[in-house]
Amino acid sequence: MRATVSVNLPALEAGPRADALYAAGVPAARPLGTLVRRAARTVLEAEEAAELELSLTLLDDDAIRTLNRDWLGHDKPTDVIAFALGPGDAEPLGDVYIGVERAVEQAREAGVPVREELVRLVVHGTLHVLGYDHAEGADRVDGEMWRRQESLVQRILGESA
């Protein structure tokens, strides 16, 4: 069975914020939806979690800040929030929320295309749903999750080149 991945793009609904995101390099909604869905499926298949149901939602700073504050107690925008909703009686389920404006800023800071940073955040969030965790601060790039994440990002970007 193939993973079910749904994509929601409220951050890209028509308006000045969406226009600014597109101008900053965020792909158009249809190709972006295809890219992030494929990125999540690649992670799920690589991790042998093909029966998982996953929801990916791309939010603006205001929306992800509210989610971060209400669920995690951090009153600030963030780049990714992931919730593993557990197996229970149904198939495993998870939600990944991506802060698109933070992704644009981080891409600029790292000198990478926005598309690459969005793939990285989808991979990162999906790995969290699957139970991966990482150290905070400078140590995070030395861990297993980071190495796995970067390997998958390169694989996904290589496939879409």
3-state secondary structure of 57: strand
Q: What is the pLDDT of residue 51?
A: 75
pLDDT tens digits, 67-76: 999 999 999 9
| Residue 99 scores a pLDDT above 60 | yes
Across 73-101, b (16+ Cβ under 10 Å) vs e yields eeeebbbbbbbbeeeeeeebbbbbbbbbb
Q: Rounded to the nearest 5 degrees, what angle is found at the Cα of 93, between the Cα atoms of 142 and 130?
A: 15
Q: How far apart are the first and last CA of the chain?
A: 27
Better-predicted residue by pLDDT, 136 or 101: 101
pLDDT tens digits, 138-154: 666 667 889 999 999 99
Q: What is the pTM of this model?
A: 0.90
Average pLDDT over residues 45-49: 86
CA distance 103 to 120: 9
**Most confident option among 11-25, 54-68, 140-154:** 54-68
Q: What is the pLDDT of residue 133?
A: 83
> Token digits for 109?
């800071």
CA distance 126 to 40: 6
Domains and CATH numbers, the chain: 4-159 (3.40.390.30)
**CA nearest neighbour of 106 among 130, 83, 82, 80:** 80
The DSSP result for 71-121, as a single string, is IIS--S--SEEEEE---TTS--EEEEEEEHHHHHHHHHHHT--HHHHHHHH
